[in-house]
Structure 1
């Protein structure tokens, strides 16, 4: 059998047409989900989650550059994955990627940096009317994908959903559930809204560091791209329609009480804020600014409540600044490259299992009502928890068509592309996603 041809599934229905009656989306597909990059660290974790969590009838395939490595990965996934097809395709082999996209309802990819490897697969899915999810935390890649694929995907019905891991599901889905509760209560529109990472245990992903290197290099050599990265609304569909709040810094120190009366101490910058905030703002814009015409969104990280809180927060800010500066300068980058985790590597199983995170979101509405949402998950945020979020995003797109947000397709966000279907699946998988009102 040709390596690019799916093996025949032994379990489950074969001819499940998609719900769109016209265009490429209506083609019968042999597979529900393809995991591209399954031989990588996070790719295998995602495949393992699908092997444990997907209904037995779900037709799943593994894809990557090496059939030998794919076979080794499949052998470690247990009996559920024994007959999963293996598809071989290099990240720049457009013909092979087109074949994968045409065979599947959903392609989930963990192959980054996405600016280097992701565009051909995203294009293949947009052209074939195939839903797509990834773990991108790269502002420039997502901006380029919007420019290249949004209208194409709208025409084919494909949902191209970037950022379906720790970047940016807690942020985007957290704001989504806040909005739904505020709307249901008739409490007006959201105004000042913030995510605070109140508890976290886990390591830094080597893939995230590699993506950061690439973006820093681009910003150093291209002023126009640097302006795009720094624009708080760079992912919005209509920049001119966005509100002007003046300068919006992603790395400012904040007083906890300025975010919510329930918080104490000083809040430190959150290293993922420059990407997450832009994803949330895109969600608001794609929804016609339903969150509110005065909606303003920030992210930060708790630094304790005691007298040392300002020093801890300032030290965190200095550490982030030092990391970014170090990666920008060749001599210090060479040193950091020896110390930081390499792409495709990650912590051992015990460390992954012991990790966790809690993100608390706060908003005040135009009627003066206050709400908070909590997004909490067990497992290292960048590895185990991310594999759950990505795997459940793929399952929602493949199996929960009736529960997805009404959309003609396009380059979407977790909230606008998957929405409540993802909320339900994450809760069923053990993730806390809860909203409650706060005292006025």
Structure 2
């Protein structure tokens, strides 16, 4: 990032949207005193209403997602941009480009493989030149996954126990609503890839976000959306594990982290994500039913007749759960690995708050605060399109722990 003093330290872009407003509220309540924050979006009236509700005197910046000039001025005015404006494939390219050009750090919430790949191709080299850290996926997608593996690998390395091999994340508890924004993102991604074979290959490749896909080790089929026997992951697990809905994105982020770390996790590192559906004899039926249900949802959104029905029953963008539902939400991710020395390790990432809303607002805001206030603790990097683990690392771990999230790793 440029050393030039800028008008703002953090700009929240999309601050009048549901998650944007939650993120702005978290900053109003938790950002260190004196942090220079601005609210940005396309409606001055809506931004002023958010500012009044928060009881702050932050400036407002008007910038439409298609106005490249306004976005360039926004990026040049701040150290960090937080973007909550999605689908990012539709609205995000101009802003990420503006930040890369201006040397401004950037964080967002994307879970879109095609957008992230296009951003890497368009912005990585330029961001390395300007020093910008472009950090996608700083919410429920994909901080718990990326940071969970990060602390797991660190503990293994600290103990001299070799490198990671087969590693599985298991969602052992989860309570939260389905985001209308997430549904809209899925809808838009399917529209984009439906008639483009090249983009379908990008979305399907297990190494679609890696810096050099040809240099990745040949580890066979990754099985990102497969059902798994719990006992194959660890003897303490029972029943059949279902695929986790965001596995096809999170796994690619974690693999990019490994590659950007020069395969520090291991050249035999294989990673998958699953979800516990209980220990009953019915778990195989439930797990496979969930797998089929995910496939049916994707197929249904690609076919016009069923898409018409789904568009009317699924959550709409801009909507979200009540404050009480946000407080009652929670998630726990447990990670299990076997190392090259045969040792077994586990890690846990647990947080209170609706995963896609309350907890995401914390993770997104703290990611930006790391870039402003903890720069001396960041992993060494010239910049580029990075991941939470490679851009923020232990500095983010420390902030999230201080915010009440459990992030641990230990030998079994």
Does the pair score TM above 0.5?
yes
Whether contact under 8 Å (2:222, 2:271) holds in the other structure is: no
Q: Which residue of structure 2 aligns with residue 330 of structure 1?
A: 304
Q: Which residue of structure 2 aligns with residue 38 of structure 1?
A: 15
Q: Which runs of 5+ in 2 are unaligned?
A: none
CA distance, structure 2, for counterparts of residue 398 and residue 337 of structure 1: 40
Which SS does the other structure have where 1:26 is aligned?
coil
Which SS does the other structure have where 1:203 is aligned?
coil
| Corresponding residue to 2:40 among 57, 63, 69 | 63
| Corresponding residue to 2:386 among 392, 409, 412 | 412
CA distance, structure 1, for counterparts of residue 292 and residue 235 of structure 2: 26
Aligned ranges for residues 13-412 of structure 1 at < 5 Å?
A: 25-78=2-55, 82-412=56-386
Per-residue deviation, 1:218: 2.0
CA distance, structure 2, for counterparts of residue 215 and residue 97 of structure 1: 24
CA deviations on 1:308-360 (whole Å, 9 max, x unpaired) are 11111112112111111111111111111111111111111111111100010
CA distance, structure 1, for counterparts of residue 223 and residue 280 of structure 2: 25
CA deviations on 1:79-101 (whole Å, 9 max, x unpaired) are xxx21110100011111111111
CA distance, structure 2, for counterparts of residue 275 and residue 34 of structure 1: 26
Are 2:407 and 1:430 equivalent residues in the alignment? Answer: no
Task: Report the TM-score, using the length of structure 1 for normalisation.
Answer: 0.93
Per-residue deviation, 1:249: 2.5
Per-residue deviation, 1:219: 2.1
Which SS does the other structure have where 1:327 is aligned?
helix
CA distance, structure 2, for counterparts of residue 292 and residue 33 of structure 1: 36
Per-residue deviation, 1:57: 1.1
Which deviates more from structure 2 when the two are superposed, residues 114-123 or residues 214-223? 214-223
How many residues matched? 412
Aligned-residue Cα RMSD (Å) equals 0.8
Q: Which residue of structure 2 aligns with residue 10 of structure 1?
A: none
